[in-house]
Amino acid sequence: MFGRRLQGQSDTLVGYRLTTLRIEDQEFVTKSGSADHRNLQFTGSASDYVEGTAFEVTRRELEQADAYEPDGYERVSVRLKSGQDAWVYMNKQQ
């Protein structure tokens, strides 16, 4: 998506879990290749967590990611288990 290999490190987002969401935006479904996408859901429970990779991106790349996400998603600031702040995309209707 960004035309380069991203650098990142493993980290964990505590208090969230993964769910599956069906995207209705047909343009996005065509672009992404699927109507079903994983989505974060805030639970607030320390027993819920999502493991993943925190990538380093530039402001321009973040703006590209904003433009890519379908309607109904928003970028939210979170704190990872490591103490690092990060951006995640979540469905607004949760």
62-74 pLDDT per residue, tens: 999 988 877 778 8
Q: Residue with structure tokens 């429970």? A: 45
> How many Å apart are CA 16 and CA 50, to the nearest integer?
6
| pLDDT reading at 9 higher than 90 | yes
> For 4-14, what is the mean pLDDT?
95
Mean pLDDT along residues 48-63? 95
Q: What is the mean pLDDT of residues 54-81?
A: 90
- Domain-located, residue 3: no
* Residue 50 scores a pLDDT above 80: yes
What value does the mean pLDDT take over residues 71-86?
A: 92
Q: Residues 43, 68: contact at Cβ < 8 Å?
A: no
pTM score, two decimals? 0.76
- CA 80 distance to own-chain centroid: 13
Examine the pLDDT at 92 and tell me if it is beyond 80.
no
Q: Flag whether 1 is in a domain.
A: no
Q: Which of 5, 2, 14, 4 is nearest to 84 (CA)?
A: 14
Residue 15 lies in a domain: yes
- Predicted pLDDT of residue 94: 56
CA neighbours within 13 Å on the CB side: how many for 37?
A: 20
Q: With respect to residue 2, please indicate whether it lies within any of the assigned structural domains.
A: no
pLDDT greater than 80 at residue 38: no
Two tokens, residue 81: 């288990």
- CA 59, 65, 66, 68 dihedral sign is positive
Domain of 57 in residue numbering reads as 8-91
Indicate the number of domains in the chain.
Answer: 1
